[in-house]
Amino acid sequence: MVAIDAIRSHLERGDLHDGLVFDAVRVRLIEVGEAVKALSQELLAHEPTLPWAQIAGMRDRLAHRYFDASHAIVAATVDEDLPELEAAVRRLLRIVDD
């Protein structure tokens, strides 16, 4: 949740057209992907509708091919996918905390 909260905070400072904001959001998306890779398949199975492999794969693309990270892809991820991911993470945290 820390990385998602940080993304929201960065976006309050400016939009993705600001290079500094874009870079900060990109780094936090890398962090999200890295966290997903560290989670067990058993835990991820509680949220089967999320594309966990794609989330991890995006981490690899952003981390290793930073020079071609598309603003459109990052923006779509933040606008369309982040709310669903955030809700799933909250549900998973409840499972882990129980």
- Residues with catalytic roles: 59, 64
- Tokens standing for residue 52: 């966990």
Q: Which pair of structure tokens corresponds to residue 55?
A: 């989330």
Find how far residue 83's CA is from the centre of its chain: 10
Give every CB contact of residue 58 below 8 A, 6+ residues apart in sequence: 29, 33, 73, 77
Query: Which single residue is written with the structure tokens 């199975």?
Result: 45
